Structure 1
Amino acid sequence: MAVDPIQTPPPPPSRSNAYLFSDPLDSHPLWFKPDLFLSPNFDSDSYISELRTFVPFDTLRSELQAHLTSLNHELIDLINRDYADFVNLSTKLVDVDSAVVRMRAPLLELREKIEGFRGSVESSLVALKNGLEQRSEAAATREVLELLLDTFHVVSKVEKLIKELPSVPADWSNGDVNLVEKNVVSNGSIENGTNVRETQSMLLERIASEMNRLKFYIAHAQNLPFIQNMEKRIQSASLLLDASLGHCFVDGLEHRDESVIYNCLRAYAAIDNTSSAEDIFRTTVVAPLVQKIIPHGPSGVAVGASGDGLESDYQEIKTCINKDCKFLLEISSAENSGLHVFDFLANSILKEVLSAIQKGKPGAFSPGRPTEFLMNYKSSLDFLAHLEGYCPSRSSVTKFRAEAIYNEFMKQWNVGVYFSLRFQEIAGALESALAATSLIPVHNSHSGHWNSQDLTLKQSITLLESLRSCWREDVLIFSCADKFLRLTLQLLSRFSNWLSSGLDARKTGNTSSNSGYEWAASAVPSDFLYIIHDISCLVTEVCGGYLDDVLQLLSSCSIDILDLVKQSILQGGKSLNGLIPLVINAITESLVDEAVKGLKDVKAIATTFRMTNKPIPTRHSLYVSGLLTPLKKDFLDTEKHSPYLTKETMNELRHGAATAITGRYYDMVAEIVNVARKTESSLQRLKKGAQRRTGVSSDVSDPTVSDTDKLCMQYFLDIQEYGRNLSTLGVDAKEIPAFQSLWQCVAPLDRQNVINL
């Protein structure tokens, strides 16, 4: 029976018009790689997510559909190519069922054999596991039993060794060698107390090593009933060991027996009880010494203490440490001694010293008296540095500083409160000086001559004293250097703000009694000269010697930090120096306001020429001589102001004031002349109109000089005199733009182009 071939599926969906000008339909873009579908690690989700980052979803879907269609075409083509073989495949499968039956019988037999073998293997495996478990349990039981036996033997050994020690621990208290010898089991070779102590210390070290083993065993079998039953014996042995070891250690310290002390310390280290040794040394050796230096009662009340100073006490304590404690510190810090676990410096010496100060001189830690507090604080740092000198290595110094008692000792010194008090003291002094209602000159009356580097105002002197106070030896705490640097910059900023705000308030007129800037209202130009001089001196000092002193004090800091400190102080000096132009402007405005009062006669001259028939003027007005009087009075007296003003500043003030006064002069004259000319022009037009109405001829020129011309001539004579007065001050009137405009405004036509005074 013939079978029709499989029908070819419909063509793939049409693509966009863009494909008309691109590759054929069966080609793929570069980003589409069909070979990736055949990869064993192909993941559709990750494949699509990667392509969607740069391929639109519609384009991706269209490409996949086109690829699917091409695969379907390829499959149908393959089937149609071998279609006859595909159809005849079922006709060749003859007697398949009987073949299956013949193959099933041996397979079933093989399965039965395999299952039987598996059962035997599983039973053997179970038996083997049970045997291994029993063996493991036996081994564990044996291990526990050995542990218990070892524990029992060690306990017995410790008890036996303890029996060899003095039966009464009090026998050690007086160091009675005869009592010790009665209880010492030896070979008869002991002849003196030194050998007795050394033998006892060696025996104690041995017991301590056994106790260390015992602690190890107990840690691994602490829940067993056997161990619990032995707990009382172990505790009793431990107490006896501690008591005997303590008495032996005390006896060794009293006789300074290095061998005994070394053996006792090794014993303490073996049982991990270093704190007991440190406490014994503190109470036996350190406490009596410190008690004599800083006496205090048991209740913490000082006994016969005079003052809270610590410097002399520290000196005596240093001597005692070198005399009575150094031997033990050298033993505990010996190389390869194994005694590095002890820290007698911190937990014995420093702890006792701190306790004595807290009980005997509690006021030493009080920052309420900053001077005494700073002296005690620096003495304490020096004492800590002295203790660190006994540390054999840098790591031991680090360990010493990490001890809890060291941190507790440092916490007693509340440097934060100390800085707050110093801040109030230093900043308060400056604030009080700046709160004055006027500038306070302070002249050097006790010296025969004036130094140009001396400050002249109390406010400036207080600022410099406050700045220096921040870095004085009896004020500065190095750990607070950053805070004192910030205070330094705040002082400079406060002074700059006080000065600039006062000048602004003077300019705006806001200098009432409650504004805080009354000084600016009452200041005269000579006061501002003092300010300019003081600012120059302050900037020179702050950016010079003062900065060098600060950098020298901070020389132990890194280069980067020193550079930041330098830049910050220089910036403070720069901001202070930037106030000089503001002060100069204030002087200039004050002088101009004073000089402008004399310009009121300028308007009176215009009224006089308008209301009277005055002749043509031939000399300047009297008011001209008084216009520059404020400048002459304040800046020509070089003997009075030479200590305060440099030549450059004086010239700047003169030119600035002359320019401003000339500008005001020009504005007033130009307005008057313009009004006069407009008025005269209007009158002439009215006169000509009247003449035309009456029939009088207006062609005849008037030979008289007008009032406006007379007024301009008067002003011209005045500004000539004004220009000559400027020359006497050292100011060239020709260089002032306002004077040039004024000249052109009133000068005759034949003289407007050339200024000739």
Structure 2
Amino acid sequence: MTPQSSTHVPLASADPFQLDRLAEELVTRESVHPIGKSNEPDLHDLPDYVPLSHDNPFLITPEFNVELFLLSRSHTSLPDLRAELREYLAQLKEELVKLINDDYEAFISLSTDLKDEGARLSRLKSPLGNLRSQVLQSRNELGIIQDEIQEKLEKRAILREEKALLHLLLKLSESVTRLESLLLISTPGQEDDGSAQVRMPAHLSNNDDGTEDRSRGNRAKHLGRVAAEYTQLLYHASKARIEKCIFVDEIQWRIDRIQSTISSDLDHVFAMTLLAFTDGKGEGRAAEIEKTKWVSDLTECLKTYDVLGLWRDAEDVLRRELVRGFVKKTIYPGALAAPHSPIVPHTPFHSAKTPSYLSATPLPPRTPYTPFTAFVFTKQNATYNLGSGSSSPYAHLLEDTDDPLARLYSQALRFVERDLSRIMDIAEKVSIKSLSRSRSEKDQTPSPVRDDVTSIDGFEIMANVIWEEFGRAIMDELGGIVFSSGRPNDFRHHYEISQAFIRSLEFLAPSVHSVEAMRSHPTFFTFEQRWQLPVYFQMRWKEIIGKLEDSLSITRIDPSFSKDKNAFATSQANAVWVAVTACWSAEIFIPELCHRFWRLSLQILSRYQTWLDQNLPRPDGTFKATGLASEKNSAPPSLSRSSTPFVSSEPPSAENTAADDAMLRQYTAAIVDIKTMRANVLTIWREEISMMLPEASNSADTDGVQAQEALQHALSGLTSLIPPMSNQILTILIKRCCDALLPVRSIPSQFRAMSNKRSPTEPSYFVSSILRPVKQFFGVGFGEGPGLPLSEEYLAAYSAEVFDSVSQRYVYYLSAMKKTEESLRRLKKGKKTTFSLFGSANVKDDDGGDEERIRIQMIHDVEAFGKDAKSLGVNLGSSESYKALKETVNTLEAAESS
């Protein structure tokens, strides 16, 4: 044993708890983390003992919680805690006694200090009563003085108001006297003295020097100054009337006399100025200077009318002096039969712009003019530039000089443009500049018919003068001719011309507000009501529907195909299209009847669908269920096939063949017409109808659907007839192709009966005739065919459907042949071998050769059949039926080889 081993054993036995090792580890840990020098807290520190004091957070809370206090002293046992609490209680008692002892001396001295204080308080209270009585007495005296001062102030205010009222009455009296002197009205004193003379208007009296400056040039300005003075008079009178002055009532008759005098004088001056302004005599610079003075006088007169608020009086003068006389000479019962006498515009004062009725405007396109409510054409917002100046976009409708109504309207427009346009512009500018207008406040709630025409502030010459006179004269004098709905063509022509006349008048209006005032005038509303548009629509409805029903009364579909893609194949479809386009033609359509013509168009399409559904030829059975794609997606039809189409083994008769040919032609014609109808209707919707329908109609139609959705619904009803017709066409073509496939069943017997046992190198004779019905239908290789118009869209789809169905029938025939051959083979194997003179060993070899030749012939036939279908656009790779056919041929080959 080594020394090391001898020393290790005693150490292990002497220190069984390894205390030395633990001591060493403790020394090492303390050297690395000495106590007091490390920042980490000692995890093994014992809880600190905190004695109870006044700063303990659990004792100074408003509500003492026993549980929290006990948990904070959890390290203390209950006996120790009780001792600690008793010690703290003794401490509190001791501190309380100390506080009492400290303040006891001051408490005892308090009663000694308050001794004999009652008498002193009584001595202090005795002078307060006298002081209070003196204060109350002074207060009463001050109140009396204040009341006296307030009374004097009120009397002074009353005197001041009475003085101001007296000044007001003096101003009122002075204004009345001044106005009477300015207007040369006799005063009451002059009337009593009998010295009153016959009054002559002040603005018409000439000066002593004989000049006419005051009588003509300054008469309008003189009345303007009089109007300003009269406005002040009315203001002073209104203030005096508020004060209930009797003086105002006593001089009211003088104020009324002044008002009537101003009104009459102003009317006289305005009338004279209008006549001079519209006379247009003379040429050259002198006449132009005179025109400028007349324009100035017109402006002053209109300003005076506007200041006085006599807008309707100015309109009455204008109506009486200018418009009414022209209307009487122009619009009378025999005006439409009278010879034409044009009004020549004044020169050189007249504007150089070309009149709208003389401009060479091109005729409008097929679409009628835009509905009238869409635009407001005025001189401010017009963007047309026809000829040498702006003109009404509706002027071309009034250029027909052969039409008496258009000639009359053109004459009226020339009159308005020549004599009234400048006056309306001046009146509009005056109204805009006037501070007395409140039109914007009163026009916030417009009504369709404005009854309170006289309550609108400002001039309304277009509405109250021009349109009221022209509209009423047309209704009274020419109403029996213009509004006669018995002749729809004349009615439509009169309506179009009248609406063009109204729009041209609106174009001559000075502002948009004038147009709105004209449209809301009662005469305008009455004029629009005189047009019996429902009666016109009924007559047009009978005309359109009568011709349509005459064509649809022929129930026999006799197609006539044309090379034109947009041409219809039947006369009935063409009649339907003519009826639809007639509703929106420029010779029939009226914008106010837009909804009725739209409803009629949808009804015509529905009627055509019903006619097709009732008169299309139907087979004995119903149409098959179809998997044709929706026409909305414009996808070609695809027939949903059953497992194996049934084809009669009997050859078709001549009658059945002729009936099938007629059915093919009729179905083809119906499909062509439906396709053409849909394309044409969508075109006219996009180019015309959608723009003619007002915006309100796009929100909801009569049945609560969108207008375009209603059209799509009507067209979808038509296109829903295409899938059944396509199925029937496919049924006939499939039957004919399968009839051509019948010789395939006789191939085995033919090869066994052949004496020349050679291997086939070409397909059978009947293979080329299998798809011949499809080619004949679409005219492929034949020049013409009943389905030639459908070849572009349906050739590939129909060929694929027929090819799949014939391939299924081909598979059916081959499967039947396979079963027959197997039965024959089993029958031959079951027979016993008999003696043959020539030997029987070659019989089996001959049978095997026939089967091989039949198999080769089948392969050639199937390949030729696929090539023929590929020439028609059939995708052989996507045809599952053709794949099944080739697999069937390969199966026959495998079976025969085995």
Letter paired with 1:456: A
Letter paired with 1:530: A
The 5 A counterparts of 1:15-414 are: 84=100, 92=110, 95=114, 98=118, 115-163=136-184, 186-190=206-210, 196-197=215-216, 201-222=220-241, 223-256=244-277, 257-258=294-295, 261-295=298-332, 302-303=333-334, 305=336, 310-326=405-421, 328-329=423-424, 331-332=426-427, 341-362=458-479, 364=482, 371-372=489-490, 375-388=493-506, 390=508, 396-403=510-517, 407-408=521-522, 411=525, 412-413=527-528
Q: Secondary structure at the match of 1:528?
A: helix
Q: Structure 1 residues 153 and 722, CA, compared in 2 at 3 Å: closer, same or farther?
A: same
Q: Secondary structure at the match of 1:455?
A: coil
Contact 1:158–1:211, Cα closer than 8 Å, also in 2: yes
- Determine the structure 2 residue equivalent to 1:587: 726
The 5 A counterparts of 1:458-477 are: 458=571, 460-462=573-575, 464-465=577-578, 468-469=581-582, 472-475=585-588
- Determine the structure 1 residue equivalent to 2:64: 11
Q: Deviations over 1:109-161 (max 9, x none)?
A: 66556545544444444334333332333333333333333333333333344
Deviation at 1:318, TM superposition (A): 1.9
- Partners of 2:104 and 2:665 lie apart in 1 by 125
The 5 A counterparts of 1:443-458 are: 443=560, 450-458=563-571
- Determine the structure 1 residue equivalent to 2:881: 738
- Partners of 2:218 and 2:720 lie apart in 1 by 90
Deviation at 1:319, TM superposition (A): 2.0
Q: Structure 1 residues 653 and 107, CA, compared in 2 at 3 Å: closer, same or farther?
A: farther
- Partners of 2:614 and 2:859 lie apart in 1 by 36
- Partners of 1:334 and 1:429 lie apart in 2 by 56
Deviation at 1:286, TM superposition (A): 0.6
Deviation at 1:263, TM superposition (A): 4.3
- Determine the structure 2 residue equivalent to 1:639: 784
- Partners of 1:315 and 1:237 lie apart in 2 by 43
Q: Deviations over 1:686-735 (max 9, x none)?
A: x9xxxxxxxxxxxx95679xxxxx9xx99999999798667556467965
Deviation at 1:182, TM superposition (A): 12
- Partners of 1:660 and 1:748 lie apart in 2 by 20
Q: Secondary structure at the match of 1:644?
A: helix
Letter paired with 2:407: S
Q: Deviations over 1:297-349 (max 9, x none)?
A: xxxxx456559974222210122234443554465456899689433233222
Give the alignment's TM-score, normalised by structure 2.
0.53
Deviation at 1:208, TM superposition (A): 3.2
Contact 1:455–1:537, Cα closer than 8 Å, also in 2: yes
- Partners of 2:859 and 2:468 lie apart in 1 by 89
Give the alignment's TM-score, normalised by structure 1.
0.61
Q: Deviations over 1:28-61 (max 9, x none)?
A: xxxxxxxxxxxxxxxxxxxxxxxxxxxxxxxxxx
Q: Structure 1 residues 9 and 484, CA, compared in 2 at 3 Å: closer, same or farther?
A: closer
The 5 A counterparts of 1:502-513 are: 509=622
Deviation at 1:357, TM superposition (A): 1.4
Q: Structure 1 residues 89 and 471, CA, compared in 2 at 3 Å: closer, same or farther?
A: farther
Contact 1:526–1:634, Cα closer than 8 Å, also in 2: no
Q: 1:650 aligns with which of 791, 795, 807?
A: 795
Whichever of the two has the greater Rg, that structure is 2
- Partners of 1:8 and 1:332 lie apart in 2 by 89
- Determine the structure 2 residue equivalent to 1:54: none
Higher RCO by CA contacts (8 Å cutoff, separation 6 or greater): 2
- Partners of 1:656 and 1:413 lie apart in 2 by 62
- Partners of 2:330 and 2:262 lie apart in 1 by 34
Deviation at 1:281, TM superposition (A): 0.9
Structure 2: tracts of 5 or more residues without a match: 1-58, 73-91, 187-197, 278-293, 339-402, 438-457, 625-659, 700-705, 755-762, 834-849
Contact 2:227–2:308, Cα closer than 8 Å, also in 1: yes
Deviation at 1:239, TM superposition (A): 3.0
Deviation at 1:496, TM superposition (A): 9.9
- Partners of 2:606 and 2:239 lie apart in 1 by 71
Letter paired with 2:255: I
Letter paired with 1:529: T
- Partners of 1:748 and 1:594 lie apart in 2 by 29
Deviation at 1:737, TM superposition (A): 2.4
- Partners of 2:734 and 2:423 lie apart in 1 by 88
Contact 1:599–1:627, Cα closer than 8 Å, also in 2: yes
Deviation at 1:360, TM superposition (A): 1.8
Q: Supply the RMSD in Å over aligned alpha carbons.
A: 6.4
Q: Secondary structure at the match of 2:790?
A: coil
- Partners of 2:106 and 2:605 lie apart in 1 by 104
Q: Structure 1 residues 452 and 329, CA, compared in 2 at 3 Å: closer, same or farther?
A: closer
Q: Structure 1 residues 702 and 737, CA, compared in 2 at 3 Å: closer, same or farther?
A: farther
The 5 A counterparts of 1:472-483 are: 472-475=585-588
- Partners of 1:9 and 1:406 lie apart in 2 by 82
- Partners of 1:105 and 1:431 lie apart in 2 by 125
Identical aligned pairs, as a percentage? 17
Q: Secondary structure at the match of 2:789?
A: coil
Q: Structure 1 residues 668 and 336, CA, compared in 2 at 3 Å: closer, same or farther?
A: same
Deviation at 1:478, TM superposition (A): 6.5
Q: Structure 1 residues 584 and 651, CA, compared in 2 at 3 Å: closer, same or farther?
A: farther
- Partners of 2:98 and 2:107 lie apart in 1 by 14
Letter paired with 1:655: A
Q: Structure 1 residues 387 and 529, CA, compared in 2 at 3 Å: closer, same or farther?
A: same
Letter paired with 2:727: T
Between Structure 1 and Structure 2, how many residues are aligned? 618
Higher helix share: 1
Letter paired with 2:322: V
The 5 A counterparts of 1:409-428 are: 411=525, 412-413=527-528, 417=533, 424=541, 428=545
- Partners of 2:507 and 2:883 lie apart in 1 by 82
Q: Secondary structure at the match of 2:210?
A: coil
